[in-house]
């Protein structure tokens, strides 16, 4: 579409070599020439062709994100939007492109192989890791730099990851509910094939265990994180003989479905029932209108995207380096959805 380097060179009566060097900041050209070149390039709106440059340098200047679409349900996780926005900011600053593949679970490994073998990307972000996720050994074997957003329990080889402290966050949240006197605490979790959901469940169970409570399977739901699923699960739990007095929900969306179910049952969050959600700080689901509605474990997934991007760029700058890891702590922010357990005996003050 645009003008070519050779044409630019001709118009300046210079060789392509010199023009290339001038534009890329090499010292072998005089400052006067460099200036002429840069000026002409701007005037003629010259931009180096991505493919040609990539072919010559061996780098694609692009990062791949493979976002899985769970086969049966066809759910697109809404946190991807914010994560990708964050990562995109980082890439833009560094002059990298982002290439996205939306792909069924079962074609996943093929797509990774493809992206790497065709040289479409220089690095990859792995989303939504599962237990012993096969993508990690695969990418390690392929020798392409990658960063996992999350971790994969049970993986032996070292790898780079950025995760939030799901275990501690949910343990704290559960402990907080226990301190408020709650004993019947329910967990509305994501799919427990996914690593984050496993860790959250453990944090929850560990906190209960510390109080001598065994987690009740009837109070634990796991599934795609949709509003409908949460509403349905909560509704079922509320009809139990001994219904929960408090809920933990793994996402704002689940929290919204839960809230829906509570109101349908005539229960007021914060008074009749306590609720803590995990808040990814999605831009369109702010929980912060003055005092937050939901008490929440909170961590910005957009910031996670930014940081994952930076880690990957660092990794690519020095492929031999040891894996990078980063664990972000999550805040527990108080909202209006939690309160003392109404059925509990008053705590001795």
Partner DNA sequence: TCGCGACCCCAAACCGCTTTGGGCACGCCG
Partner DNA sequence: CGGCGTGCCCAAAGCGGTTTGGGGTCGCGA
Give the residues lining the site for its own copies (CB under 8 A): 1-2, 45-52, 54-55, 60, 62, 67, 69, 73-78, 80-82, 84-85, 88-89, 92, 97-103, 113-114, 116-120, 142-144, 224-228, 231-232, 253, 256, 259-260, 263, 282-286, 288-289, 293, 302
Instruction: Report the partner that residue 110 touches, choosing among its own copies, DNA, none (CB closer than 5 to 8 A by kind).
Output: none
Distance in angstroms between the alpha carbons of the first and the last residue of the chain: 76
Residues 19, 43 contacting (CB under 8 angstroms)? no
The DSSP 8-state label assigned to residue 37 in this structure reads H
| Residue ranges in 45-84 that form contacts with DNA under rule CB under 7 A | 46-49, 52-53, 55-58
Selected binder of DNA within 14, 139, 220, 230 (CB under 7 A): 14
Residues 176, 154: Cα–Cα separation, whole Å: 29
Of 52 and 102, CB closest to DNA: 52
Residues 146, 29: Cα–Cα separation, whole Å: 37
Task: Name the minimum Å distance from CB 151 to its own copies.
Answer: 23
Residues 326, 161: Cα–Cα separation, whole Å: 6
By CB under 7 A, tell whether 15 contacts DNA: yes
Of 31 and 289, CB closest to its own copies: 289
Per the structure block, which two tokens stand in for 338?
A: 């939690």
By CB under 7 A, tell whether 16 contacts DNA: yes
Return the closest-CA partner of residue 204 out of 182, 229, 230.
182
Residues 166, 334: Cα–Cα separation, whole Å: 18
Instruction: Report the partner that residue 20 touches, choosing among its own copies, DNA, none (CB closer than 5 to 8 A by kind).
Output: DNA
Q: Which residue has the tokens 């469940």?
A: 201
Instruction: Report the partner that residue 5 touches, choosing among DNA, its own copies, none (CB closer than 5 to 8 A by kind).
Output: DNA
Residues β-bridged to residue 297: 278, 332
Per the structure block, which two tokens stand in for 293?
A: 């509605």
> Under the rule (CB under 7 A), what is the footprint of DNA?
2, 4-6, 13-18, 20-21, 23-24, 28-33, 46-49, 52-53, 55-58
């Amino acid at each position: 579409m645009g003008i070519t380097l050779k044409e630019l060179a001709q118009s300046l009566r210079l060789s392509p070599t010199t023009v290339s060097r001038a534009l890329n900041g090499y010292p072998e050209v005089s400052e006067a020439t460099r200036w002429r070149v840069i000026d002409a390039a701007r005037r003629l709106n010259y931009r180096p062709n991505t493919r040609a440059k990539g072919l010559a340098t061996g780098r694609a200047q692009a990062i791949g994100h493979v976002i899985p679409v769970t086969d049966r349900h066809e759910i697109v996780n809404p946190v991807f939007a914010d994560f990708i926005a964050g990562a995109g900011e980082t890439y833009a600053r560094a002059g990298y492109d982002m290439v996205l593949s939306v792909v069924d679970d079962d074609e996943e490994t093929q797509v990774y192989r493809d992206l790497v073998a065709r040289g479409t990307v220089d690095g990859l972000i792995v989303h939504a890791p599962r237990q012993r996720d096969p993508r990690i050994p695969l990418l390690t074997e392929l020798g392409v730099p990658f960063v996992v957003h999350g971790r994969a329990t049970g993986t032996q080889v070292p790898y780079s990851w950025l995760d939030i402290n799901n275990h501690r966050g949910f343990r704290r949240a559960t402990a907080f509910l226990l301190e408020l006197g709650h004993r019947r605490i329910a967990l509305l979790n994501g799919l427990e094939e996914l690593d984050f959901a496993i860790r959250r469940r453990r944090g929850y169970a560990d906190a209960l265990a510390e109080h001598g409570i065994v987690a009740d399977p009837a109070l634990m739901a796991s599934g795609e994180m949709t509003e409908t699923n949460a509403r349905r699960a909560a509704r079922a739990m509320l009809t139990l003989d001994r219904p929960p007095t408090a809920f933990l929900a793994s996402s704002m969306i689940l929290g919204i479905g839960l809230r829906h179910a509570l109101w349908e049952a005539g229960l007021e969050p914060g008074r009749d029932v306590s609720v803590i959600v995990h808040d990814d700080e999605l831009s369109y689901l702010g929980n912060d209108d003055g005092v937050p509605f939901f008490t929440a474990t909170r961590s910005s997934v957009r910031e996670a995207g930014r940081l994952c991007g930076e880690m990957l760029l660092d990794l690519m700058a020095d492929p031999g380096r040891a894996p990078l890891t980063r664990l972000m702590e999550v805040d527990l922010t108080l909202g209006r959805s939690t309160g003392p357990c109404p059925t509990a005996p008053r705590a001795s003050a």
